[in-house]
Structure 1
Amino acid sequence: MTVLTAAVLCVGFAALIGGATGFGSSLIAAPLMLLAGVGVTETVVINLVVALATRLAAAYQLRAEMDRRRVLRLGGAAIPGAWVGAVTIVLIPEGVLKPAVGVLTILCGVVMALPARRAPTPPTARATLAVGAIGGYLSTTTSLNGPPPVLLLSRAQVPR
């Protein structure tokens, strides 16, 4: 089986799970592709291209419900975070990045499964900017940019 075939199968399986749950396809696809022998750089690029296509469609469909200020904060802060991540991925060997993706995937799953410890409050501008930067960093290093905003917004019980 070629690496491309493995990547397609992994992304297809992750899309099924992500479609059923509403999120998490990159969280599933990244470790599966790495286990199948796809390189970290290729995994990141594939996940980001798939995420861009699906998120553009979702953004268009949900545009009336969007909090544009929050989207601008998350997206604007993601740009410098992504740049720092792109610099990082060049400096860190793939042998270190692969296990880091696995550990990060497990940590994200555990944290998402934990119940909220306090009453929901709307996310502050500062928290939104920080999460955007972290998401940007994770997007270019591991393609796991979704968990930080999911955690921020789900803990705050922000409507869809």
Structure 2
Amino acid sequence: MRVTPVVVFGLAGLIVLLGALVQGCAGLGMNLIAAPLLATLDPALVPVPLIVSSLLLSGLAMRREWSEVDWRGAGLAVLGRAPGTALGALAVALLPEPAFSVAVGGFVLLCLAASLITWRPRPTPVALLAAGFTGGVTGTASSIGGPPMALLYQHETGPRIRATLAAYMLFGGALSLLSLGIGGQIGVEQLLASAVLLPFLAAGFALSGPLRRVLDAGWTRLAVLGLSGGSAVLLIVRGLV
């Protein structure tokens, strides 16, 4: 049975709504949830419409909890992300994608396991530069760049995690769109698809407003660790299948 464009965009909208709801509550999760599902539903929905959605979501989240942004931390991470983005692009061009995905996923899992056992990560200048660099590599190569920064801020408050990750991801999304635009990969079709998804994005973000208080009652770190681990597993599965 042929699936109509209306059905495709309706399903895509629900996926974006769910991703926006999760990221609005925990600070990350949009790409983890939406990227594989949208790519399966219609490859034209990634990367541009998803990046546009993530960019706008980050802007809304940062504005909502503006006073909680760790500007120093976000700035240092952004400084590290720029060369990481370049290395990620080079890795995509030179390395086999399956092996690279498995390596990145394994690295994130190792960091997660270490943070659960003995390592207590802190957003020091060196750690922020390293997290930004790593996020630039993984974000460019796999569209999942949030976990390194999320793990670094896992012991902070929920508002601080969400706001700082939003500021960091806002730069990442803008840089990705700029790169795609220079490469001639943004056209009318991608922009129209992005516009159709915006009402669903807004709805998911609005729903996250009251629900984020549930996570702030002691569940934020668990959500961050779970989503980071899910991202790593997704990368490994993507590389092996």
TM score, norm. by length of structure 2: 0.50
Paired amino acid for 1:38: P
CA RMSD of aligned residues (A): 3.5
SS at match of 1:131: helix
2:101 aligned residue:
100
Aligned-pair identity (%): 31
Question: Does residue 53 of the first structure (1) align with residue 56 of the second (2)?
Answer: yes
TM score, norm. by length of structure 1: 0.71
Any stretches of 5+ residues in structure 2 without a counterpart?
161-241
d(CA) in 2 for partners of 1:21 and 1:67? 16
Any stretches of 5+ residues in structure 1 without a counterpart?
none
Structure (1 or 2) with the greater helix fraction:
2
Indicate conservation of the 8 Å contact 1:73/1:129, yes or no: yes
- Residue correspondences, number: 151
Structure 1 pair 10/100, CA: closer, same or farther in 2 (3 Å)?
farther
Structure 1 pair 142/76, CA: closer, same or farther in 2 (3 Å)?
same
Query: Of the candidates 43, 61, 85, which is equivalent to residue 82 of structure 1?
Result: 85
Structure 1 pair 139/100, CA: closer, same or farther in 2 (3 Å)?
same
Give the structure, 1 or 2, with the largest relative contact order (CA under 8 Å, sep 6 or more). 2
1:138 aligned residue:
138
d(CA) in 2 for partners of 1:158 and 1:122? 9
Q: How far does the alpha carbon of each residue in 1:25-56 deviate from its partner, in whole angstroms, 9 at most, with x for none?
A: 111111212333526xx623333222211111
d(CA) in 2 for partners of 1:139 and 1:23? 13
For 1:3-42, list aligned pairs within 5 A.
Answer: 5=9, 7-19=12-24, 21-38=26-43
SS at match of 1:158: coil
